[in-house]
């Protein structure tokens, strides 16, 4: 059935004007319309936080649950009902601080969830404390002298948990966001999409380098599987191998030519170079960084049940009872 | 030798945790149950993974009470004590009656063994004041080795069969048919016929040893069977019965059974049991933590499954957040709490009833939740079934409480006929409400309708924030919150539960004994003993704790004296005092991690009567 974004819209969002959540929500509505899964076969599950209000603005099934547990709740929903398309939406606090354990285990198990991580590097709903993605030294209400801890890098956490899909988009970039959301849906297994977004009130400008089109033209690279990793306003830069890592170079300088530029391989099982790409500070890698096929937990659970059903001779409660040592009292 | 006809006999197998006492005990109870005796078992094992061999802390026990008529408890003290080593004799002798027969392996009473067991001299019997005439002292290890000498087994494997020699000896003592034990072993070791054969050989040797040297003991016991309820039976532990109850309820409701769980003593066997039954479509997820066990179950519930999470007290602490979410979302969920000694890690393998107030109140906000407590191992089946039915039909999380004693203990279970169990009808949202339905619209009994994803036209959102009664949208309206709080409470209060039953001298008792959950058998046995001594005593036992049965106040106020006996500091007594105006019971509280001792109950209750 053909859908439009209106088929997925509900209610009036209550986020602050200019919040990245508005942009992301619009892209999600559009992506879902293009994907075409019925709203009644879709569940959007969030935790707690500004961005976790999102399911209230979806005309699908939804749950706005408790802090940090969205991935765990989504896991049960998907495993119990594999026919559902499940989107899990969390902010950086919900997903990586209180919910960090569920985030890594959902990735490790490779449950077929579309896991959205809305990263504004701040706690907005509680009014401005540092988050696990805030940079070291970050000054906030709970760190007036700067934080003394290093942040998580979401891709690193995902890869460390043996994640098979990681993509990144900027909330204000609708085509880029829709593209990664569709790719996340197409990927069977846990698909993490990190959405870079601004918090106008408590962390304004955190993603400024890539937040508008002009910035992205200079400071971001759109990765496409099988294509040369070129970027810049006129594609004058490229990503080349640098020892065990990668670096950005200007073509024509230091003897680098287009022939030296690496071709992006999102399907490569070994995540080493994908991690290097994800962690580049300049340019910021956008698009699908890793997209590798692997057996999904929910499929395997279903398959194992079918396999055991075929093996075992008992298939209902009465037959189960008969598998025990039974005696008769007359 | 004299063959003694007895009403009931208690046997306690004890040895090092590696000595296979639980298996020997299990086989003996199965053999006894198979000939129609009533049984009640109590495994008493140490918390250590494997304490040093021969040490006092490493002793594992398995007590079984077999009776001609019905037995309600595993027995206070044993008539036969098997002590496989010096440490077992030292620690377990206190569980033996003064005239108990004691079987020991003299090979495990060498100088080193005695030292590890902290005996001061070589006269260990004298040291403990045990009459040697009551002791069957046999060089058990030597005989097991001799018996298996013609096999190609190594010594280590041979020694693993020691428990079977003891079992053979006990089978002789009770005149048991060995074929039943043989069949049990053949089945258990179906894939290792060599092991089965060796074990069978050793059982026979133990039996023959008893037979040939019988003059050394006073009695052989015979327990005849009477008052039998005809039917087909199996031996079942409380944890297994609980798992079976979940399976049965899912089948009756026509739903997939989902268990989200994290291993924790003494609840893990429920996870083990359910994991086996994939051929029934049971889905089990061993989660990353207790939180996820409950949270994923709630997700499964939203998605349309019969969702269960299993744990013990420390796990309830972690699950309480998601349980609370289930309360406000009004989704069905069964939370199993197999209670153990607390607080914190407490006594992981021991039994208590100390989680009752946690179950009733351990959540933020006004968070009413039904609480059901199973009375015995076999009652776990009915209690689990009732919990699932209540959760599904009233759209609420339900706490099902058992305890380590009930969970690990076993009893003869009359095979249930599912056709005779009540139907389970969840309040699925009627199709005709499409277009007008909102998530918190309620059926006549105050229950929210269930709209399972996949149904077109019923897309909705649930969540942890308070919702508007009419629209289902987020609401902070003070009047609405007050209304929703009352509606959630009224829904639970209106759940029908069976009346409280009074047993014993219900018309003219001078003392009413009140308890809940796993202490039923001990309290019942205490009542029986007191009535046999001419006292007027009745018993009322709570299985449904929230909501309380309608006749609770009437029953509690009917008798001149009431004692609430529980394995905590008075949690049920406190709950009843809160719910029944002017009710001030006497209390008997014990928090030892061990089952009640019937003799102590009788003594205490009798004093109370005489006061």
Note the pLDDT tens digit of each residue in B519-552: 999 999 999 999 999 999 999 999 999 999 999 9
Contact B30 A63 (CB under 8 A): no
Quote the pLDDT of residue B215.
45
Contact A72 B281 (CB under 8 A): no
Q: Which of B158, B166, B545 is nearest to B373 (CA)?
A: B545
pLDDT interval class at B85 (50, 70, 90): very high
Is the model's pLDDT at B439 over the cut of 50? yes
What's the gap in Å between the CA of B18 and the closest CA on chain A? 25
Residues B489, B442: one domain?
A: yes
Helix, strand, or coil (residue A88): strand
* pLDDT tens track for B219-248: 556 655 555 678 898 889 999 999 999 999
The model carries a pTM of 0.91
Q: Which of B420, B444, B462 is the last residue of a domain?
A: B420
Contact A314 B280 (CB under 8 A): yes
Domain A5-211 sits in CATH at: 3.40.50.970
Measured distance CA(A110)–CA(B279) in Å, rounded: 24
Residues B440, B406: one domain?
A: no
Residues of A with Cβ-Cβ distance to B471 under 8 angstroms: none
Instruction: Name the residue with tokens 């918090």.
Output: A199
CATH of the domain at B20: 3.40.920.10
Measured distance CA(B102)–CA(B508) in Å, rounded: 43
Measured distance CA(B400)–CA(B334) in Å, rounded: 7
* pLDDT tens track for B475-504: 999 999 999 999 999 999 999 999 999 999
* Structural domain for B273, as ranges: 235-420
B464 touches chain A (CB under 8 A): yes
DSSP per residue, B374-422: --STTHHHHHHHHHHHHHHHHTSEEEEEEEHHHHH-EEEEEPP-GGGSP
Contact B299 A314 (CB under 8 A): no
Contact B279 A311 (CB under 8 A): yes
Residues B434, B562: one domain?
A: no
Mean pLDDT, rounded, for B55-75: 89
Quote the pLDDT of residue B3.
57
What is the interface size between A and B, counted as CB pairs within 8 Å? 210
DSSP per residue, B504-559: ESTTT-SEEEEEEGGGHHHHHHHHHHHHHTT--EEEEEESEEESPPTTHHHHHTTS
Residues B372, B514: one domain?
A: no
Residues B287, B361: one domain?
A: yes
Measured distance CA(B172)–CA(A172) in Å, rounded: 83
Within a domain: B603:
yes
What's the gap in Å between the CA of A122 and the closest CA on chain B? 22
Quote the pLDDT of residue B44.
83
Quote the pLDDT of residue B48.
64
Q: Which of B496, B522, B550 is the last residue of a domain?
A: B496
The domain segmentation of chain A, as residue ranges, is 5-211
Residues B485, B530: one domain?
A: no
User: Which residue of B237, B295, B384, B435 is the best one to mutate when testing the A interface, meaning the one whose CB has the most A CBs within 10 A?
Assistant: B295
Quote the pLDDT of residue B38.
87
Measured distance CA(B469)–CA(B472) in Å, rounded: 6
Residues B396, B457: one domain?
A: no
Mean pLDDT, rounded, for B256-271: 97
* pLDDT tens track for B361-394: 999 999 999 999 999 999 999 999 999 999 999 9
Within a domain: B370:
yes
Contact B296 A72 (CB under 8 A): yes
Among partner residues B30, B187, B300, which is closest to A80 by beta-carbon distance?
B300
Contact A63 B462 (CB under 8 A): yes
DSSP per residue, B160-217: TTHHHHHHHHHHHHTT--HHHHHHHHHHHTTT-HHHHHHHHHHHHHHHHHHHHTGGGS
Which of A273-282, B46-55, B568-577 is predicted with the least confidence, judged by mean pLDDT? B46-55
**Which of B:325-344 have CB within 8 Å of A?**
325, 329
Contact A81 B292 (CB under 8 A): no
B182 touches chain A (CB under 8 A): no
Residues B249, B348: one domain?
A: yes
Q: Which of A62, A64, A67, A101 is nearest to A84 (CA)?
A: A62
Contact A317, B254 (CB under 8 A): no
Within a domain: B230:
no
Provide, rounded to the nearest whole percent, the portion of chain B with pLDDT above 70: 96
Quote the pLDDT of residue B230.
85
Top mean-pLDDT range of A284-298, B37-51, B127-141: A284-298
Contact B461 A56 (CB under 8 A): yes
Quote the pLDDT of residue B222.
60
Q: Which of B367, B398, B420 is the last residue of a domain?
A: B420
Residues of B with Cβ-Cβ distance to A75 under 8 angstroms: 285, 287, 292, 296, 299
Within a domain: B36:
yes
Measured distance CA(B549)–CA(B500) in Å, rounded: 6
Residues B492, B506: one domain?
A: no
Q: What angle do CA A284, A289, A294 make, to 5 degrees?
A: 160
Which of A186-195, B63-72, B434-443 is predicted with the least confidence, judged by mean pLDDT? B63-72
B155 touches chain A (CB under 8 A): no
CATH of the domain at B394: 3.40.50.970
Mean pLDDT, rounded, for B573-577: 98
Is the ipTM higher than 0.95? The answer is yes
Contact A315 B280 (CB under 8 A): yes
User: Which residue of B232, B279, B412 is the best one to mutate when testing the A interface, meaning the one whose CB has the most A CBs within 10 A?
Assistant: B279
Residue ranges for chain A with pLDDT beneath 70: 1
Residues of A with Cβ-Cβ distance to B247 under 8 angstroms: 317, 320
A237: which residues sit within 8 A by CB, 6+ positions away? A221, A230, A231, A248, A249, A250, A251, A283
Residues B512, B550: one domain?
A: yes
Within a domain: B228:
no
Residues B209, B318: one domain?
A: no
Residues B239, B293: one domain?
A: yes
The count of domains in chain B is: 4
Do the bridges between strand B537-542 and strand A165-170 make them parallel or antiparallel, or are there none, so unpaired? unpaired
């Amino acid at each position: 059935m053909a859908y439009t974004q209106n088929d997925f819209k509900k209610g009036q969002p209550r986020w602050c004007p200019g919040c990245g959540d508005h942009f992301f929500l619009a892209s999600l509505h559009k992506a879902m319309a293009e994907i075409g899964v019925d709203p009644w076969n879709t569940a959007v599950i969030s935790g707690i936080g500004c961005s976790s209000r999102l399911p209230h603005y979806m005309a699908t099934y939804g749950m706005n649950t408790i802090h940090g547990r969205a991935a765990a709740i989504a896991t049960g929903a998907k495993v119990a009902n594999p026919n559902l398309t499940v989107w899990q939406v969390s902010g950086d606090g919900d997903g990586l601080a209180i919910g960090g354990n569920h985030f890594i285990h959902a990735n490790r198990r490779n449950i077929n969830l579309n896991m959205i991580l809305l990263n504004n590097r701040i706690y907005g709903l509680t009014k401005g404390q540092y988050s696990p993605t805030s940079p070291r030294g970050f000054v906030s209400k709970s760190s007036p002298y700067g934080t003394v801890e290093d942040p998580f890098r979401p891709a690193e956490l995902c890869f460390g948990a043996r994640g098979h899909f990681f993509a990144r988009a900027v909330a204000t970039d609708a085509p880029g966001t829709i593209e990664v959301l569709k790719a996340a849906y197409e990927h069977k297994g846990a698909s993490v999409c990190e959405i870079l977004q601004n918090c106008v009130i408590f962390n304004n400008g955190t993603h400024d380098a890539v937040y508008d089109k002009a910035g992205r033209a200079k400071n971001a690279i759109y990765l496409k599987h099988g294509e040369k990793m070129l970027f810049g306003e006129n594609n004058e830069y490229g990503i080349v191998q640098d020892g065990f890592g990668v670096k950005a170079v200007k073509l024509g300088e230091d003897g680098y030519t287009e022939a030296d530029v690496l071709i992006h391989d999102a399907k490569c099982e070994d995540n080493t170079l994908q991690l290097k790409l994800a962690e580049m500070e300049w340019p910021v890698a956008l698009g699908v960084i890793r997209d590798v096929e692997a057996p999904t937990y929910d499929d395997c659970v279903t398959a194992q049940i079918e396999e055991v059903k075929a093996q075992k001779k008992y298939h209902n409660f009465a037959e189960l009872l008969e598998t025990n040592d039974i005696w008769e009292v007359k | 030798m004299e063959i003694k006809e007895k009403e009931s006999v208690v046997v306690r197998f004890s040895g090092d945790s590696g000595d296979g006492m639980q298996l020997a005990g299990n086989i003996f109870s199965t053999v006894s149950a198979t000939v129609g005796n009533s049984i009640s078992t109590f495994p008493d094992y140490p918390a250590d993974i494997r304490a040093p061999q021969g040490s006092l802390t490493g002793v594992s026990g398995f007590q079984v009470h077999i009776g001609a008529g019905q037995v309600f408890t595993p027995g206070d003290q044993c008539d036969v004590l098997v002590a496989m080593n010096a440490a077992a004799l030292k620690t377990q002798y206190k569980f033996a009656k003064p005239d108990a027969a004691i079987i020991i392996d003299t090979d495990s009473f060498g100088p080193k063994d005695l030292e590890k067991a902290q005996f001061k001299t070589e006269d260990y019997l004298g040291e403990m004041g045990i009459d040697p005439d009551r002791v069957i002292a046999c060089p058990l290890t030597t005989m097991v080795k001799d018996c298996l000498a013609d096999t190609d087994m190594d010594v280590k494997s041979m020694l693993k069969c020691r428990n079977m020699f003891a079992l053979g000896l006990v089978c002789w003592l009770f005149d048991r048919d060995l074929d039943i034990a043989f069949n049990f072993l053949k089945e258990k070791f179906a894939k290792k016929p060599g092991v089965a054969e060796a074990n069978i050989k050793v059982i026979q040797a133990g039996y023959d040893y008893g037979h040939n040297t019988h003059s050394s003991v006073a009695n052989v016991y015979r327990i005849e069977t009477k008052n039998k309820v005809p039917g087909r039976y199996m031996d079942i532990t409380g944890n297994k019965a609980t798992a079976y109850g979940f399976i049965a309820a899912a089948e009756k409701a026509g739903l997939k059974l989902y268990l989200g769980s994290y291993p924790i003593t003494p609840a893990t066997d429920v996870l083990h049991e359910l994991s086996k039954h994939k051929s029934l479509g049971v889905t089990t997820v061993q989660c990353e933590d207790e939180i996820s066990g409950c949270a994923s179950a709630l997700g499964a519930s939203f998605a349309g499954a019969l969702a269960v999470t299993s744990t013990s007290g420390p796990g309830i602490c972690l699950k309480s957040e998601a349980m609370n979410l289930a309360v406000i979302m009004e989704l069905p969920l069964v939370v199993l709490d197999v209670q153990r000694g607390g607080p914190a890690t407490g006594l992981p393998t021991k039994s208590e009833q100390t989680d009752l107030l946690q179950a009733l109140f351990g959540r933020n906000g006004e968070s009413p939740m039904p609480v059901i407590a199973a009375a015995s191992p076999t009652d776990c089946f009915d209690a689990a079934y009732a919990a699932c039915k209540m959760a599904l039909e009233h759209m609420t999380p339900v706490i099902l409480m058992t305890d380590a004693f009930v969970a690990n203990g076993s009893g003869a279970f009359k095979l249930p006929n599912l056709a005779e169990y009540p139907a389970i009808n969840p309040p699925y949202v009627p199709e005709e409400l499409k277009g007008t339905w909102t998530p918190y619209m309620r059926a006549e009994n105050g229950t929210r309708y269930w709209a399972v994803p996949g149904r077109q036209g019923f897309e909705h959102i649930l969540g942890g924030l308070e919702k508007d009664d009419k629209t289902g949208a987020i609401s902070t309206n003070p009047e609405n919150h007050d209304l929703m709080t009352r509606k959630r409470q009224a829904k639970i209060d209106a759940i029908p539960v069976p009346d409280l039953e009074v047993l014993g001298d219900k018309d003219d008792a001078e003392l009413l004994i009140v308890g809940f959950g796993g202490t039923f058998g001990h309290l019942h046995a205490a009542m029986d003993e007191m009535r046999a001594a001419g006292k007027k005593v009745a018993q009322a036992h709570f299985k449904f704790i929230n909501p309380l049965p309608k006749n609770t106040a009437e029953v509690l106020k009917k008798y001149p004296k009431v004692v609430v006996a529980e394995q905590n500091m008075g949690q049920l007594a406190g709950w009843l005092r809160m719910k029944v105006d002017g009710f001030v019971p006497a209390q008997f509280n014990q928090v030892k991690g061990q089952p009640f001792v019937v003799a102590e109950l009788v003594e205490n209750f009798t004093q109370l009567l005489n006061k």
